[in-house]
Amino acid sequence: MSGPGDAGAGPTPDGREASLLSPGDSDDAALPPGEVVLDALTPADAPACARLEALLFPGDDPWSAAAFRSELHVGHPYVAARVDGRLVGYAGVALLPAPAFSREPAEAEVHTIGVDPAVQGHGVGRRLLRALLERADAIGAVTYLEVRTDNVPALALYRSEGFEVVGTRRRYYASGADAHTMRRGERSDG
């Protein structure tokens, strides 16, 4: 998947946007039903999220626990993936409703998706992404994200979920890596 700083049209509280998809998340393999539970991410999860960020994005300015708490404090929807109560993944999106009396659609910005390497390759990243897209679809939003240009598995996953590359941001990440900006058109949930 993509590293920190990989999503959306504007920076998150720590000055970057992130979307992470890990190798293997692009396939449709799944853990046995009931093993992975998706629920709401809470402020108590922030330290575990920060540890996963440090593991997943060591060269790309990983988010701190404070950054996750800030995202939750402002009300952005975040989803947790858990196995036996242990956090193994997280994902968050900012939802921007359509302006009143405007023909412009609502927008959504995927801020981050992260999956513990121990469970990568079992569809956890896809499930987290789809949970975010359900939120975006509920308001008819166009959805954006950024992803490292060299993250082939993430690009494949995002394309399979309807995203298209619409631009490139040079040296977007702290490591100097480039990012593609990707867009998924508005969908209706009804």
- What percentage of the chain exceeds 90 in pLDDT? 64
Apex CA 24: angle with CA 28 and CA 163, to 5°?
70
Residue for token digits 């598995």? 153
Question: Rounded to 10 degrees, what is the CA torsion of 116, 142, 190, 27?
Answer: -30
Architecture category of domain 36-184 in CATH: 3-Layer(aba) Sandwich (3.40)
- Residue of 36, 31, 146, 49 lying closest to 91 (CA atoms): 49
Q: How confident is the model at residue 183 (pLDDT cuts 50, 70, 90)?
A: very high
Q: What is the pLDDT of residue 78?
A: 98
Q: How far is Cα 105 from Cα 162, in angstroms, rounded to an integer?
A: 17
Domain regions of the chain by residue span? 36-184
pLDDT digits (tens, 9 = 90+) for 12-53: 333 333 333 333 343 334 455 458 999 999 999 999 999 999
pLDDT at 60 over 90: no
Q: What is the mean pLDDT of the chain?
A: 83
pLDDT digits (tens, 9 = 90+) for 102-134: 888 899 999 999 999 888 888 999 999 999 999
Q: How far is Cα 81 from Cα 86, in angstroms, rounded to an integer?
A: 8
Does this model's pTM top 0.85?
no
Q: What is the pLDDT of residue 131?
A: 97
